[in-house]
Amino acid sequence: MPYLFTSESVSEGHPDKVADQISDALIDNFLAFDPSSKVACETLVTTGQVVLAGEIKTDTYLDVQKITRDVIRKIGYTKSEYMFEANSCGIFSALHDQSADINQGVDRKVENPDFETLANAQGAGDQGMMFGYATNETDNYMPLPLDLAHAILREMSQIRNNELELMPYLRPDAKSQVTIEYSDDDQPIRIDTIVVSTQHDDFADDETMLAKIKNDIINIVIPRVKAAQKAELHGLFTDNITYYINPTGKFVIGGPHGDTGLTGRKIIVDTYGGKGAHGGGAFSGKDPSKVDRSAAYATRHIAKNLVAAGLCDQVLVQVSYAIGVAKPCGLYVNTYGTSKVDMHDGEIAEKVAAIFDMRPYAIEQRLKLRNPIYSETAAYGHMGRKNEIVKKTFGSNGQTKEVEVELFTWEKLDFVDQVKAEFGL
């Protein structure tokens, strides 16, 4: 029997995403000036106020207030009527040294450092389980409902930042949601419902405002989203889609003034929109010694390469750790019955574990995670993004540094040939 599946996304101006972007900007600046930094930074944003809290072990000093204000300004909170504005908001920092009890399990010293000894010495920064997922229903191996939900808000962000004449009333805060009907064999049939709520300037007449926003979303944003999809998905955009555009009506009060934002509250938006599974650990504000982040990227890397190699149509990969221990507690693979090889999922997991070294140090090295690459992950999802090399400039407290980094390394299909060879594909 056909079924419906829904995923949501939020814009870079959503208060929780504001918090994520501040936390990850701090991570990037610490790593730019001291790649060995250990950071766990939580951010709270509310009316006219930012609170930074967390634990840090680093040899550098940063102007955290300037970094925070730069992030808020870039997002678009630059007007006093937003009640949260880059130049005037208060910033309180409660960042302090990392616990030596935690650090001792991560930074073990070795007499003759080489890859193997370091890989065995560096334990996981915490216990827990992490999941990666991939599906062949989109070109970027992401679930279609989430991919479309992200695409809607990215188009609106593009308009707000670069083509404001098209929708001059847009403000930074927005949410989207897409419901898709699937067939019995898990193929998308049609888009059932699209929900968009966007913060906007005040209108003299609320009814005129609502009609204008709804018309612009349906006739400007959605056609651009459709045009960006591969041709075989265009048929999903029918005239029978149910639209809920700003369904509560007026949405002038938004951002951190409308709702308090916290780092790590959008973990499903950050990953797979509810498909697969999630271990519960957030990403933003954590350096790669925290396996909540690094191992989640590594399992996505595995899952994407397995599907791209043709091993299966979709797959879930789980890894788990004990704090301070390098070797994972276990690796689990679930192909949902879509495997193309004559093996049980447990046998597939054994082969996968032999291909991909999942010790924390090995993950950091393989995916180049000790680089300032995290600000780009903090809005519109950590997975399904474009792998590219960019130059970034960091400046704080009189220091300036330009670095070339590779973004979204966990999206590379660099193990496809090895997977094919191992499984005889």
Sequence-distant (≥ 6) Cβ neighbours of residue 350 within 8 angstroms: none
Inter-axis angle of helices 291-308 and 416-423, to 10 degrees? 60
DSSP 105-139: HHS---SS--HHHHHHH--BSS-EEEEEEEETTST
| 5 assigned to a ligand binding site | no
**According to the annotation, is 137 in a ligand binding site?**
no
Burial of 422 (C-beta count, 10 Å sphere; 0-12/13-18/19+): middle
How far is it, in rounded angstroms, from Cα 411 to Cα 135?
Answer: 13
The answer to the question of whether 114 is labelled as a binding residue is no
User: Is 304 annotated for ligand binding?
Assistant: no
Q: Is 174 flagged in the annotation as binding?
A: yes
Q: Is 283 annotated as a binding residue?
A: no
Q: How far apart are CA 316 and CA 293, in angstroms?
A: 17
What are the tokens at 360? 């924390």
Contacts of 20 (CB under 8 A, 6+ apart): 43, 263, 264, 266, 270, 284, 285, 378, 379
The dihedral through the CA atoms of 42, 43, 44, 50 has a sign that is: positive
3 φ, ψ to 5°? -140, 165
230 is in an annotated binding site: no
The amino acid occupying position 13 is G
User: Which two structure tokens, joined as six digits, stand for 24?
Assistant: 């990850």
286 is annotated as contributing to ligand binding: yes
* Residue 79 marked ligand-binding: no
Q: How many CB atoms lie within 10 A of CB 391?
A: 8
Give me the residues paired with residue 393 across strands: 402
Rounded CA separation 375/225 (Å): 24
How distant, in Å, are the alpha carbons of 317, 326, 346 from that of 330?
11, 12, 11
CA distance 166 to 303: 39
Cα–Cα dist 232/1, whole Å: 22
Q: How far apart are CA 67 and CA 231, in angstroms?
A: 42
d(CA 42, CA 100): 19
* 282 marked ligand binding residue: yes
Q: Which residues are annotated as a binding site for K(+)?
A: 42
The binding site comprises 14, 16, 42, 55, 98, 173-175, 250-251, 259, 265-266, 282, 286, 290
List residues forming the annotated binding site for L-methionine.
55, 98, 259, 290
Which residues are documented as binding site for Mg(2+)? Answer: 16
Task: List the binding residues for ATP.
Answer: 14, 173-175, 250-251, 259, 265-266, 282, 286
